[in-house]
Amino acid sequence: MIGRPCKIAIAGTHSTGKTTLMGRLEKELAARGFTPQYVHDSAANARDLGFPILRGHTFESTAWMMAEAIRLETVASLSADVILVDRPVPDALGYLVAAHEVTGRTLEASRLKRLDAISTAWVGEYDLILMTELDGSIPIGPGRDDDERFRIAAGQAIASLLARIAPGHVIVRAQGADGALRIAIDTAERHRGGK
């Protein structure tokens, strides 16, 4: 692919509709003549390799997830004109902060600072960042982690991080998926038009 693809990312705690929204967006963009590519959350791959995830997140699991996200996004740029990112780079850092908050663990400040620098540097690659908001009234799907305290902490940590490093991100509430879809399509259309 010649030229920089449009990157639309969706962040937020687990079981808040991110994957569902990205699936809808992928279909809409394809119907409009785009060549979208979906870059998935790599937490399951991290777990399969032996990295701890969720409340067990470590510096190493976070660094691996960030590097894997960057790798997958970069590979997608070879063939897509729109890259849909389910869990952008800053999400991993938000999960690490939440894991430490919930478990009482600490991380050496210099290591946290390095992960923050990666998130801050990479966030500029996204043309749009959507962030789902946790709605506690919506039940968690079967087979999903149901640690409500951690889930809330992760959502808050990601929100705090994005407020600082990506203040233009768009909050997606449970009933606001259609509006977020329109914003994402408009972003892709503007990018295609060079505006």
Residue 1 in this model has a pLDDT that exceeds 70: no
End-to-end Cα distance, the chain:
19
**Domain limits of the chain?**
6-192
Contact present, 59 and 107 (Cβ < 8 Å)? yes
Q: How far is CA 107 from CA 61, 62, 77, 136, 176, in A?
A: 13, 12, 34, 29, 36
Which CATH architecture is the domain 6-192 placed in?
Answer: 3-Layer(aba) Sandwich (3.40)
- What is the percent of the chain with per-residue pLDDT over 70, rounded to a whole number? 98
Q: What is the mean pLDDT of residues 23-32?
A: 96
* Run of H or E residues at 100: helix 89-103
Residue 116 in this model has a pLDDT that exceeds 90: yes
Residue 195 in this model has a pLDDT that exceeds 80: no
Predicted confidence (pLDDT) per residue in 57-100, tens digit: 999 999 999 999 999 999 999 999 999 999 999 999 999 999 99
The residues with which 132 forms a beta bridge, in sequence order, are 172
Residue 19 in this model has a pLDDT that exceeds 90: no
Please classify residue 136 by burial: count the beta carbons closer than 10 Å to its beta carbon, then call 0-12 exposed, 13-18 middle and 19+ buried. exposed
Residue 2 in this model has a pLDDT that exceeds 70: no
Query: 3-state class of 130 per DSSP?
Result: strand
